[in-house]
Structure 1
Amino acid sequence: MNFNYSSLYNKIVEKYGSKHNFAKAAGLSEKSITLKLDGKDEWKQDEIANTIELLEIDSSEIPQYFFNYKVQ
């Protein structure tokens, strides 16, 4: 199952300026964030919860950021 994380990436850049800054705040490596945003690694539940908190994502918006299917 492929997801489109472009909205999440845009939110990260909007709030933190870069993946690097966000990765530091999230306690993850920039490589790990890149792999997750590229769909090459899965988001763990605790990582999703932490990201929602760090980015101040409203619960009604979670599907838009984490469960938006790629259209092929």
Structure 2
Amino acid sequence: MYNYSKLLGRIKEKGFTLEALAKKIGLNVSTLSKKLNNKSEFHQDEIKKICRVIDIEMCDIGTYFFCQ
């Protein structure tokens, strides 16, 4: 299980709601919620889209997506 609290903080810091972020990256909000609650896994392309939208550098992906 991954801890997405830092990612959630970054989403909020950048002024996005989960609904707005989901729409921006082409996901249903319930799908994004499942991923953030460890009920489903993120795919590489989804991680890249999220990073682009909320300005996460590629070298920092582990800090936001792979903290246990």
User: What's the TM-score, normalizing by structure 1?
Assistant: 0.86
The answer for the alignment partner of 2:40 in structure 1 is: 41
Superposition CA RMSD, Å: 1.0
Q: CA deviation at 1:10?
A: 1.2
Contact 1:16 1:22 in 2 (8 A): no
Q: Return the alpha-carbon distance in structure 1 between the equivalents of residues 16 and 47 of structure 2.
A: 19
Say whether residues 1:55 and 2:48 are aligned partners: no
Structure 1: tracts of 5 or more residues without a match: none
The structure having more radius of gyration, on CA atoms, is: 1
Fraction of identical pairs, as percent: 35
Structure 2: tracts of 5 or more residues without a match: none
Q: Which 4+ residue blocks in structure 1 deviate beyond 3 angstroms?
A: none
